Amino acid sequence: MAFDALVSKKAGALALIAAAGVSLTPIPADARSAASLARQPAASSRHLRRELSAVAWLVADVNSGKVLASKNPHRKLAPASTLKTLFAVTVLPKFSAKRVRQVSAADLSGLGSGSSVVGIRQGGRYTVADLWNGVFLRSGNDAVHVLAAMNGGWSTTAREMQQTARRLGARDTSVKSPDGYDAPGQVSSAFDLTVFARAGLANEDFARYCSTTRAAFPAAGGGTAQLENTNRILVGSHGMARYPGIIGVKNGYTSKAGNTLIAAARRNGHTLIATVLNPRSGEANGVYKEAGQLLDWGFEHVAHSEPVGRSGRDDEEEEEADF
Rounded Cα distance between 78 and 319, Å, is 20
Q: Please check whether the domain covering 18-301 is classified as CATH 1.10.1740.10.
A: no
> What is the percent of the chain where pLDDT is above 70?
80
Helices (H), the chain: 46-51, 84-91, 128-138, 141-150, 154-167, 190-201, 204-211, 232-235, 286-301
- The mean predicted confidence, pLDDT, of the chain is 85
Cβ neighbour number for residue 116 with a 10 Å cutoff: 23
Q: Check if the beta carbon of residue 35 is closer than 8 Å to that of residue 284.
A: no
Question: How do the domains of the chain map onto residue ranges?
Answer: 18-301
- In terms of residues, how long is the chain? 323
pTM: 0.86
Catalytic residues: 81, 84, 139
The predicted-structure confidence for 224-277, as pLDDT tens digits, reads as follows 999 999 999 999 999 999 999 999 999 999 999 999 999 999 999 999 999 999
Average of per-residue pLDDT across 16-33 = 36
Lowest mean pLDDT among 75-84, 166-175, 284-293, 311-320: 311-320
Model pLDDT, residue 222? 84
